[in-house]
Amino acid sequence: MRAALKMFCLSVAVLAAAVVIAQLLVPDIVPIAFAEEPQPAWAVMTAFALRAIELIAAAVAVIALAMLAGMCAQRGLRRLSGGTASQAD
């Protein structure tokens, strides 16, 4: 359970850092090449890379959160059924 919690916290921290860096470095850049006005290539590539990091970190956070919810549900079902938890965290 601790490993899933660590993964969740780490991915949330990476997501927050990527969002803040994107707002500081490329605030008004669309991470695709098609925009109404010309955008510098470095800014588009930076925005694209930061968006990819954001999406990967968000996916890892969702998976870790689902694992945590599953573990909590499994513990709750064990308690309801009267069984004892033989495994340690």
pLDDT tens-digit series, residues 50-61: 999 999 999 999
Position 83 confidence tier, pLDDT thresholds 50, 70, 90: low
Q: Which of 14-23, 27-36, 79-88 holds the top average pLDDT?
A: 14-23
Give residue for tokens 């601790």. 2
Amino acid at 74: Q
What is the overall mean pLDDT for the chain?
Answer: 87
Give the whole-angstrom CA distance, residue 83 versus residue 67: 21
pTM tops 0.95: no
> What's the longest Cα–Cα distance across the chain?
65
Amino acid at 73: A
- The candidate with the shortest Cα–Cα distance to 49, out of 71, 22, 86, is 22
Tokens of 23: 């707002």
